[in-house]
Structure 1
Amino acid sequence: MKSESIWSKALEVSREAVNCGAVIPLTTIKYKSSDECSDFELRFLKSPIPSYLIEYGPKRNPFIPWDSRLQIQPIKDKHTLILNKYPVQLGHMLLITNSWKPQNFLLDQYDFEAIINIDNDTTGLWFFNSSKEAGASQPHRHFQLLPRHYNQRVCPRYEWFCSLLNNKIDCNSEISHCISIRPRNNNKDSSSNDLYSSYMSMIREMNISQNDIVNKPLKPYNLLITSKWIALITRKTDRSNGFSINALGFAGYFLGTKSSDVDALIKFGPEKILMDVI
């Protein structure tokens, strides 16, 4: 078991940030499915979506400088861990670069060193959206972490990805051809080199870059990272059936709004929605 001291600190900072208005939790209602084995979780947003999360492009960079009330702690010398200002789950963290680095360029070794630094203490579901087309709301490089205890379900589609990793997904899957997945080396000797090597291997496999020197990916993509695997998903667009889809959609999390075709998700399942964005 990990110490989860970073998670504890994030919750402590969250309480103070909520009290002073620096963190504004989003109120949602969870859809109760009759299928206990459902591989998606649908929540309905009760409050309006903050325009900050919708608009992508020229505007004030919220990370230079970042709001000090959101800061959890520095991570090595190139990154800082802060709170998500508009969380559905309290303790939702953002790992940001201290200086400007574009979200839509290839990630580097330092990014994965920072992730491993946190992951050794507090783990869960890491995700990354490479651009607006992949669901990113900010052009400044940032990763996101939804912490989980060791005995918690990481995400609704966790077992689906495990099956894909073990080559047990049948040919009826409509999205597996756009996904590359690698196992995580989870022993105490694992390092950022392992994670970075897996990332670059998937980048080449999915024809996102054939040359490590090329900084800008040829396609939008998402990353999902758990303690067992890292997965890369290529993208074309960020919306399907009225849903805004980022990496969390592929993890099985959907946030319904007034414009969402909720009936289609419930009737046909997540792959029907996801296949429109890949």
Structure 2
Amino acid sequence: MTSGAHPEPDLLTRIDLCIAAALESGALQPIRTEQTEVVERGLRFAVRWVSSLARKDAARVDEVTRRKPDFNPFLPPDPALTVGPVGEHHLAVLNKYPVIERHLLIVTRAFEAQTSPLTLDDFDALAAVMGPHGGLGFYNGGADAGASQPHKHLQWIPHGRGLAAFTDHLADMEAGEATALGALEWAHLFVKLDAGLWQRPQPGATLREVFAQACRRLGLDPAANPMPPYNLLLTHDHLLLVPRRCEKWQDISVNALGYAGSLFVRRPEQIDELRAVGPLRLLAEVARTGA
């Protein structure tokens, strides 16, 4: 750094500066939502839906979920939504239609398929964001796992309860221990992470190995190309892997955030449908059954 130069702002500051400019230009178009809580077997789920005061946002939801095979918004990403580089191979990009504040996409610079294996570079990029800032990292492994774009992108949100909707009900776990939560009737695996992991020089390599081990425990090949559908969720404390079967139950789409206790419905009347079936049954319907 030259004398008198200012240090580069941290990631959250850069995100907020990018958000402010993108809101002013109209490049960022948040989806305003209302929220309620649904509790089943002591597990708490946050359910969001498009606000009745902002029904025009329904068109934005349709834009998110309408898959256009010939359109790639990440090649290149909109400069107004691009926060900056994350390592050599990824860019941090704002979600154009966020439901959650500061929702960040970690996008490969060159095209890779969302169904291709997660690489060391991918975990390094995610660790570069999560190491200093915590939050929840997640990945939708293909369309059947809730991915709306075929270009590889990991995702991150900086706040919320992380995986606490489920991990609060786990017995105490030692670092490296892997277990399933008995109340959940779908194939999944929680792995307890070493508390010192994030202070190490290259946490991405460890995360990749933990992920690979979890895949093998659930009968997935972490090097398969294409990978079968799955959701990966990651906090400073836990890794969660959920093999998927399909994207939707009826007309309710589920991505990785569903397995963090956060569900989204397009219309208020779908809340009654969700309450009737129960969030646990809904999540089981779209996940692979069995251990």
Q: TM-score range by the shorter chain?
A: 0.7 to 0.9
Cα distance in 1 for residues equivalent to 2:169 and 2:20: 34
Question: What's the offset of the Cα at 1:110?
Answer: 0.7
Structure 1 partner of 2:184: 173
Q: Is 1:251–2:256 an aligned residue pair?
A: no
Runs of 4+ in 1 over 6 A off after TM superposition: none
Q: Is the 8 A contact 1:73 1:81 kept in 2?
A: yes
Q: Is 1:26–2:37 an aligned residue pair?
A: no
Identity %: 26
Cα distance in 2 for residues equivalent to 1:185 and 1:101: 30
Cα distance in 2 for residues equivalent to 1:168 and 1:90: 30
Secondary structure of the 1:114 match is helix
Secondary structure of the 1:31 match is strand
Secondary structure of the 1:121 match is helix
When residues 163 and 45 of structure 1 are mapped into structure 2, their CA distance, relative to the original with a 3 A threshold, is farther
Q: Is 1:45–2:50 an aligned residue pair?
A: yes
Structure 1 partner of 2:275: 266
Q: 2:77 aligns with which of 58, 63, 66?
A: 66
Unmatched 5+ stretches in structure 2:
1-8, 52-56
Q: Is the 8 A contact 1:70 1:83 kept in 2?
A: yes
Structure 2 partner of 1:95: 106
Structure 1 partner of 2:167: 159
When residues 215 and 245 of structure 1 are mapped into structure 2, their CA distance, relative to the original with a 3 A threshold, is same
When residues 140 and 16 of structure 1 are mapped into structure 2, their CA distance, relative to the original with a 3 A threshold, is same
Q: Which amino acid aligns with 1:244?
A: S
Q: 2:157 aligns with which of 135, 146, 149?
A: 146
Q: Please provide the CA RMSD for this pair.
A: 2.5
Secondary structure of the 1:113 match is helix
Q: Is the 8 A contact 2:43 2:166 kept in 1?
A: no
Q: 1:131 aligns with which of 142, 149, 152?
A: 142
Question: What's the offset of the Cα at 1:249?
Answer: 0.9
Cα distance in 1 for residues equivalent to 2:59 and 2:142: 19
Cα distance in 1 for residues equivalent to 2:24 and 2:146: 29
Q: Is 1:198–2:184 an aligned residue pair?
A: no
1:58-93 deviation per Cα after TM superposition (whole angstroms, max 9, x unaligned): 122101111111111201110010111000122110
1:153-212 deviation per Cα after TM superposition (whole angstroms, max 9, x unaligned): 325624357459675833x4312xx102222223122611110001111222222217x4
Q: 1:215 aligns with which of 211, 219, 225?
A: 225
Cα distance in 2 for residues equivalent to 1:34 and 1:191: 35
Cα distance in 2 for residues equivalent to 1:262 and 1:131: 26
Q: Is 1:9–2:19 an aligned residue pair?
A: no
1:196-229 deviation per Cα after TM superposition (whole angstroms, max 9, x unaligned): 001111222222217x4x3222x21010011101
TM-score normalised by length of structure 2:
0.83
Secondary structure of the 1:271 match is helix
Cα distance in 2 for residues equivalent to 1:235 and 1:205: 15
Secondary structure of the 1:22 match is coil
Question: What's the offset of the Cα at 1:259?
Answer: 8.3
